[in-house]
């Protein structure tokens, strides 16, 4: 049995990879640098060699399922994977994103067995992704400051591995959150306290948000799409927690404060 991880070198994928390989399970990583390579922008028929001998696949779409073209690509993936004999698909989705739900339907309607894992904002966005440059600059700027129940990627990986390898997850849609709501201003304050680095939150216009992401190294089109997404989903729709992490894994969801403490200890927010 081989497990295929699309985006297996990414934030969630590499954590899932680590867990599967630690259990001695066979893993195939689908990425542009993989062999055979995988690229969401390529002809879908070029993906077929990846499916040989695969029975279950974890699917992540970059940059986000809410982006144009995602739904069509995910359905094409599900169709070719199913035809090739892949029985189980686990899709990483976004919580509260209507566009992402279109991609979810493509998997539900095609895959023999499916699980959808909807995640809220990742805690690791602050140390591994687009919020790291703002933290290092001392200012997190977004169009709104509604509270979010940031979820830890370690918890996301635990849930994905359970869905890939265990029984009882077919037909389930899990919504993953941390155990409490945290505003971005509160997140900035916690990071500042733990790292000793002054960090504050500033509410900005969407145009200012885009400009600051681009200045931080995010490609222009991705920055625009992310800003549009933020403006729509940061409206309070996700301002509640769930217990899905505990229901699936048996352990409590990791608190944002514990993530901050561990991340600060690595020195990521105080580079030399």
- Give the residue extent of every domain in the chain: 2-119, 122-151+177-238+254-272
* CB neighbour class for 238 (10 Å; exposed up to 12, middle 13-18, buried from 19): buried
Return the pLDDT at 212: 85
Q: Give the confidence band of 89 by pLDDT, cuts at 50, 70, 90.
A: very high
Q: What CA–CA distance (Å, rounded) separates 234 from 147?
A: 8
CATH architecture of 122-151+177-238+254-272: Alpha-Beta Complex (3.90)
pTM recorded for the entire structure: 0.94
- Other Cβ atoms less than 10 A from the Cβ of 82: the count is 17
One-character DSSP codes across 7-41: TTTSTTHHHHHHHHHHTT-EEEEESTTSSS---TT
2-119, what's its fold? Rossmann fold (3.40.50)
Which secondary structure element, helix H or strand E, spans residue 191, and what is its range?
A: helix 184-195
Return the pLDDT at 221: 86
pLDDT in tens, 129-162: 989 999 999 999 998 889 999 999 999 999 999 9
pLDDT at 217 over 90: no
Return the pLDDT at 148: 96
Return the pLDDT at 67: 84
Q: What CA–CA distance (Å, rounded) separates 141 from 202?
A: 5
pLDDT in tens, 9-48: 999 999 999 999 999 999 999 999 888 899 999 999 999 9
Q: What CA–CA distance (Å, rounded) separates 80 from 75?
A: 9
pLDDT in tens, 160-179: 999 999 999 999 999 999 99
Output DSSP code: residue 183: -
Rounded to the nearest integer, the mean pLDDT of the chain is 95
Q: Give the confidence band of 228 by pLDDT, cuts at 50, 70, 90.
A: confident
Q: What CA–CA distance (Å, rounded) separates 179 from 254?
A: 7
């Amino acid at each position: 049995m081989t497990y295929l991880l699309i985006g297996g070198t990414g934030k969630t994928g590499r954590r899932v990879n680590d867990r599967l390989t630690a259990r001695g399970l066979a893993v195939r990583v689908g990425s542009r640098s993989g062999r055979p390579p995988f690229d969401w922008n390529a002809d879908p028929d070029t993906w077929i060699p990846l499916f040989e001998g695969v029975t279950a696949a974890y699917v992540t779409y970059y940059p986000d399922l809410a982006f144009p073209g995602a739904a069509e690509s995910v359905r094409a993936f599900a169709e070719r994977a199913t035809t090739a004999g892949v029985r189980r698909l686990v899709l990483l989705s976004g919580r509260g994103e209507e566009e992402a739900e279109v991609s979810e339907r493509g998997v539900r309607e095609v895959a023999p067995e499916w699980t959808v894992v909807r995640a809220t904002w990742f805690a690791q966005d602050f140390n591994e992704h687009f919020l790291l440059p703002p933290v290092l600059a001392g200012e997190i700027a977004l169009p709104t400051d509604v509270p979010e129940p940031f979820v830890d990627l370690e918890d996301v990986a635990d849930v994905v591995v359970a869905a890939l390898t265990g029984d009882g997850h077919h037909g389930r849609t899990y919504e993953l959150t941390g155990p409490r709501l945290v505003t971005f201003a509160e997140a900035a304050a916690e990071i500042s306290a733990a790292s000793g680095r002054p960090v504050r939150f500033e509410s900005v216009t969407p145009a200012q948000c885009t400009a600051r992401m681009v200045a931080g190294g995010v490609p222009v089109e991705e920055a625009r799409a992310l800003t549009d997404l933020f403006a729509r989903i940061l409206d309070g729709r996700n301002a509640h927690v769930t217990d899905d992490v505990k229901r699936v894994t048996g352990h409590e969801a990791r608190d944002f404060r514990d993530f901050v403490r561990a991340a600060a200890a690595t020195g990521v927010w105080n580079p030399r």
